[in-house]
Structure 1
């Protein structure tokens, strides 16, 4: 029993304090509790924790003490008027718990100090587990709010003299005034202080005036510091924006690169409207040279830069894009596409992203695709043109690592291009282009130089400011020496984007061509058609016209 006493005596003593017993009474009842426990130990069946059983005895013994000593007054709430000396003190917390009801106080104690479960607390007090849980959380919240309000009450009382003398900041004044509005005790204290102003001797007056002066100077210094910080921040942002510039990716630049064995020459222009190239930061790692392009606000301006090294240059990277690899110049289009290569054909979202970057829709119109094992099947709205099938298939099969073939379907026509057929046509292994950008470029160039491919011509139109009906029919005809060579037509909804833009690409034998656009049978004038034809379509005096744009 001595071991039990040593382990649980302090626990039972604190429990009795939580019931309202003063220290002397708690000590007396605790001794009686263990005396009764010794005589009743044979009745303990082990169905509950020993601490739960002892608390039940202590509760009964304290009730008997109250009945025998009606003059006994439980510990009152006068402690709340004093300061919170140490919020972390257990004795202090026990005293603060006196603001709670007796049941809430017992539950708080058994949970916090007894570490009892809500089921065990219910057994001690004869209530349900859920009632014990709800009462505990409500009591804890009430205690927290009371302690916070008491802290603020004491703080405001300490600050009232400075508040009267105007030594507190505007933010502090707001907190004090909000508390005064709710606390009658602090209001009375403020009134007493105002009614009985202290009489300062000359030395104290000088010291008081000095404190006010120091406060004014402190405020002035704070404002000065804030202004200095703002000036520094604005200066940094200005330098960063207009001198250092912003690192810009290749997709927003027009880059022309010339590489000699020990020298790189760049001509760079920013395509982002309202910005211009400011500087180039060069980095060198062995035979690899990297150029980082920075742009600043300004008008379009093409700039030239040069870099010379003592090492033989094999690879050149500009704005995150490889433009030279193993002695091969990499065209911008192929360099950008290679960055979107797909490892696994089953990743439909990445395949869709690659086709979008290839701008397939400008060749075939709206399209859908499906995957069949390692085969990609593309069904298009426009008729197939043999001149682009091989080139687009080469791009797809080179950039999707495990793709074996591409099937193009449109209006009952179907054409399949496989890896084996392209390998035989180009006398190489096109899959080498997946891991090597230079091999990818050489394969595309080899195909373009063969008899199987013609030159690509682009018709880029912006329709301004008229918005066309989606059901209107648009068509265009390409002529060479007045003779029609290509003609296509379709609905606006299939050809024209929401922003009124329209891009059509076609492969033709090298020559001089013109193109004429039609909307519901109304024709524009014939205009030159070349590899990069950019026009603006507008209606002037009830006549459709194509105006060249930069």
Structure 2
């Protein structure tokens, strides 16, 4: 059995706080307890320290109430956090609903078609419809700034509030020089110079390029012309001749025969029809060539030059005017041939007239015994 060291009162008094906390070793505990058993003074101090550490019933109750209060505060805090999160989600949902069904976004002119366009009795009436399903519009307005009218609206999801997929606007034609679908300069021009501008004409006007040497730009022109004239032909390559004038564009239909599948037009007729548009839309282009393999395998090369087109323009315009008067009970304004087909790239309205002239067939008119005959060129 170990000898228990005898401790002085001073040492015991120093050890008592640590002893009471249970932080002293077993050997120290035995020495302190041995001293307390034989020293009433130190034992009394130990007893006093023990009394301070044991809470009274009142203190214990207060402590319990404080714990309960803290738990309640914590539960309230959790509820407040949950309510705040729920409120945030509701606000976000309400904002989304307001944006989707009430506020919406500006209409996209590229996804709208003009289904009717009338001008009579000093007024315009324009009807447009979306090409997208599941879209409705509201807030239709038209603003006239110095003769340039912009038609705008808000696009939203259909609901019981708004459910129409287009709109009709009627407004005075006095002093109007242009009509835009969407904001001026940002939307799409749909009327200019007494001419209704189709989406294809607008696309052709925007696709034009001043230089035949830019492969990507020439490709964009060809794509726009293909989309307009249709059906699109994708199986071809191009080569550019820019070393000397006339600068040339050659389209190689490597795996396309003389007839376009499903088009009902020979490849030659197609190219003769669109060559003037290519000459107009590519600023310094002087000649359009194309090659293909005929059905018998023979290699064919055709061409149209700017000089040929410009010389033929007066006859084509005359043929168009005659055909127009035959097709319409009311005579319209006769067109006047420009100096060059390149003048047709000057404005969207001019591009539209070039497209209309192409749709008439680029005819050359001949007269025999007083009768008019319209023969496709060349």
- TM-score, normalised to structure 2, is 0.58
Cα distance in 1, alignment partners of residues 152 and 207 from structure 2:
20
Could you give the per-residue CA deviations for residues 468-498 of structure 1, whole angstroms, max 9, x where no partner exists?
Answer: xxxxxxxxxxxxxxxxxxxxxxxxxxxxxxx
Query: Which residues in structure 2 correspond to 1:378-397 (within 5 Å)?
Result: 378-380=251-253, 381-383=256-258, 384-397=266-279
C-alpha displacement at 1:223, in angstroms?
Answer: 1.6
Match of 1:434 among 331, 345, 356: 345
Structure 1's 311 and 229: CA in aligned 2 closer, same or farther, altered over 3 A?
farther
Is 1:255 matched with 2:137? no
The secondary structure found in structure 2 opposite 1:394 is helix
Matched with 2:178 is 315
Cα distance in 1, alignment partners of residues 67 and 115 from structure 2:
74
Match of 1:355 among 210, 213, 222: 222
CA RMSD across the alignment: 3.6
Matched with 2:99 is 240
Cα distance in 2, alignment partners of residues 440 and 425 from structure 1:
18
C-alpha displacement at 1:407, in angstroms?
Answer: 1.0
The secondary structure found in structure 2 opposite 1:431 is helix
Is 1:292 matched with 2:152? yes
Cα distance in 2, alignment partners of residues 235 and 363 from structure 1:
45
Is 1:370 matched with 2:239? yes
Cα distance in 2, alignment partners of residues 444 and 359 from structure 1:
12
Structure 1's 260 and 425: CA in aligned 2 closer, same or farther, altered over 3 A?
same
Matched with 1:271 is 131
C-alpha displacement at 1:445, in angstroms?
Answer: 2.6
Q: Is the 8 A contact 1:274 1:297 kept in 2?
A: yes
Match of 1:443 among 351, 354, 358: 354
C-alpha displacement at 1:358, in angstroms?
Answer: 2.6
C-alpha displacement at 1:303, in angstroms?
Answer: 4.0
Is 1:414 matched with 2:273? no
Is 1:224 matched with 2:83? yes
Cα distance in 2, alignment partners of residues 264 and 325 from structure 1:
13
Matched with 1:212 is 71
The secondary structure found in structure 1 opposite 2:285 is coil
Matched with 1:534 is none
C-alpha displacement at 1:339, in angstroms?
Answer: 2.5
Cα distance in 1, alignment partners of residues 305 and 82 from structure 2:
73
Q: Is the 8 A contact 1:377 1:406 kept in 2?
A: yes
Match of 1:344 among 211, 214, 238: 211
Structure 1's 206 and 303: CA in aligned 2 closer, same or farther, altered over 3 A?
same
Q: Is the 8 A contact 1:270 1:295 kept in 2?
A: no
C-alpha displacement at 1:241, in angstroms?
Answer: 2.1
C-alpha displacement at 1:281, in angstroms?
Answer: 4.5
Structure 1's 424 and 207: CA in aligned 2 closer, same or farther, altered over 3 A?
farther
Cα distance in 1, alignment partners of residues 172 and 73 from structure 2:
63
Matched with 1:106 is none
Cα distance in 1, alignment partners of residues 173 and 133 from structure 2:
37
Q: Is the 8 A contact 1:270 1:301 kept in 2?
A: no
Cα distance in 2, alignment partners of residues 268 and 323 from structure 1:
11
- TM-score, normalised to structure 1, is 0.41
Q: Is the 8 A contact 1:277 1:293 kept in 2?
A: yes
Q: Is the 8 A contact 1:387 1:452 kept in 2?
A: no
Q: Is the 8 A contact 1:267 1:305 kept in 2?
A: yes
C-alpha displacement at 1:316, in angstroms?
Answer: 0.9
Structure 1's 210 and 302: CA in aligned 2 closer, same or farther, altered over 3 A?
closer
Match of 2:283 among 373, 392, 401: 401
In structure 2, runs of 5+ residues without a counterpart are 1-52, 259-265, 294-298, 314-336, 365-374
Q: Is the 8 A contact 1:247 1:295 kept in 2?
A: yes
Cα distance in 1, alignment partners of residues 211 and 69 from structure 2:
78
Could you give the per-residue CA deviations for residues 204-248 of structure 1, whole angstroms, max 9, x where no partner exists?
Answer: 655554443333222222221221221122122223223434444
Matched with 1:424 is 311
Structure 1's 433 and 201: CA in aligned 2 closer, same or farther, altered over 3 A?
farther
Cα distance in 2, alignment partners of residues 363 and 208 from structure 1:
80
Q: Is the 8 A contact 2:135 2:155 kept in 1?
A: yes
